[in-house]
Homo-oligomer: A and B are copies of this chain.
Amino acid sequence: MKRLLFALFMVPLALFAQNSDSIMLKKISDDIFLNGKCYQYLDYLTNRIGGRLSGSPQAAAAVEYTFQVMKSLGVDTVYLQECWVPHWVRNDKEIGIIMNSKMIGQQQVKICALGGSVPTAVGGITADIVEVTDFAELKKLGKAGIQGKIVFFNHPFDVTKISTFDAYSEAGKYRWNGPSEAAKYGAIGTVVRSMTTALDDTPHTGAMGYNDSVPGKIPCCAISTKGAELLHTLLKDDPRLKFHLELNCEKLPDVRSFNVVGEIRGSEHPEEIITVGGHLDSWDTGKGAHDDGAGCVQSIEVLRVLRSLGIKPKRTIRAVMFMNEENGGRGGDKYFELAKKNSEKHILAIESDAGGFSPRGFGLDMNASQKNRILSWKPLFLPYGVYDFEHGGSGADIDDLKNIGCALLGLHPDGQRYFDYHHTPIDTFDAVNERELKLGAAVMAMMVWLASEKGL
């Protein structure tokens, strides 16, 4: 009794609030570890539906599935936002062959088309292949060195960077811009070293974009890092090495698709909206487990736990399955367009699109006052291993919301394993650990609850 009185008199009110907050956060965490469904949702999304490239039947199935799941949670409303998405298909020919200069020795290597690539001519193309490390080398070789050849961008992925995403940002430009940069000098194709920390025999796909100001769209593929090492070694011995590339991917007309939105209306400030989301589409070569089934099912988990605990949030909470992040961003565009058109007040958006690994922090993209608010909650997250609020970076699908004053957060999980799986056939359900996935969902739900209770 004495102890209780002492506590009542001595503990400042702020600490008392902090304490009751931490009790609620623990409830959220406990419920997700004990009753969470995100891991089962992910099982369905990856094993029953599979890879979900925009425009594919699987993408449509994922829209239907997540719509039904959110409906089943009994949230206030679940609805679709129509958007038209690019429809690029890989098809069945992906052949890469290294041939020596005398054309008498050859070795097949694992390649895959980059998303958005044009096909080669039927029967493929065969040409001298020239290796460059970066755009400076490409420029130096110029037309004289490049014309009529295939360019091999062998830019190393910097494994010494502790943030693997920093290394990805740095290397990614050769995948995205490489084809048009090479076309400037008359290249007829490009082969890009896969963007990964691993030395593996799996090509990592990903989007590329043609620069409209450069005439000529040339076919482009990723080669596995082991294949790149082999090519590099063989080129040293035989600089007139040839490469044969055959792709029959194609771009079809745009397809009607959707974002899926599940919403719990706020009890006190329904007009203030908090968005939590991931992207529903994925690359076709794998099952889109870490990228980004994880972010989707974690976002649905946020709705589930609020319902499960009977929490009536003060502000409106939306879980959004964004369509087409990988090769167009049309879902994110549509979400922003509607937010603007309807003069919605978005106070916070969180995206989880860095894998279903143990969370370590949030990336912050917001103004100073919003930042102060978020940072004041930091101690509440420390017991969950979430300590890092120092970095930027939110998410491609929510980025535009900044233009209407919305604070942006990106969930930052441990990134050491991410690029082992990224955009490959091994991005599958079994690569995701249930506890790590749930812990990520839990800290997202905590952040949503705090923002809903306290505003921003």
Separation in Å of the A23 CB from the closest CB of chain B?
13
Does any Cβ of B come within 8 Å of A416's Cβ? yes
Q: Report the separation of the CA atoms of residues A417 and B436 in the bound assembly, to the nearest whole angstrom.
A: 8
Does any Cβ of B come within 8 Å of A384's Cβ? yes
Which one of A28-36, A169-177, A214-222, A252-260 is at the B interface? A28-36
Does any Cβ of B come within 8 Å of A225's Cβ? no
Known: A197-B435, A360-B385, A387-B387. A29 touches B416 (CB 8 A): no
B433:A420 contact, CB within 8 angstroms: yes
Q: Report the separation of the CA atoms of residues A388 and B418 in the bound assembly, to the nearest whole angstrom.
A: 23
Does any Cβ of B come within 8 Å of A383's Cβ? yes
List residues 150-164 of chain A with CB under 8 A from any CB of chain B: 159-160, 162, 164
Interface string of A25-44 (1 = CB under 8 A from B): 00001100110000000000
Interface string of A381-421 (1 = CB under 8 A from B): 00111011000000000000000000000000010110010
List residues 191-210 of chain A with CB under 8 A from any CB of chain B: 197-198
Does any Cβ of B come within 8 Å of A439's Cβ? yes
Which bucket holds chain A's interface residue count? 20 to 34
Does any Cβ of B come within 8 Å of A358's Cβ? yes
A29:B433 contact, CB within 8 angstroms: no
B414:A358 contact, CB within 8 angstroms: yes
Separation in Å of the A438 CB from the closest CB of chain B?
9
Among the interface residues A33, A159, A197, A414, which one has the most CB atoms of the partner chain B within 10 A? A414
Q: Report the separation of the CA atoms of residues A162 and B385 in the bound assembly, to the nearest whole angstrom.
A: 8
Q: Report the separation of the CA atoms of residues A160 and B387 in the bound assembly, to the nearest whole angstrom.
A: 19
Q: Which of B159, B197, B385 contacts A414 (CB 8 A)?
A: B385
A33:B160 contact, CB within 8 angstroms: yes
A: which residues have CB within 8 A of B? 29-30, 33-34, 159-160, 162, 164, 197-198, 358, 360, 383-385, 387-388, 414, 416-417, 420, 433-436, 439
Q: What would 7 A/B residue contacts be, using CB atoms closer than 8 Å? A: A29-B162, A162-B383, A162-B384, A358-B358, A385-B388, A416-B439, A417-B436
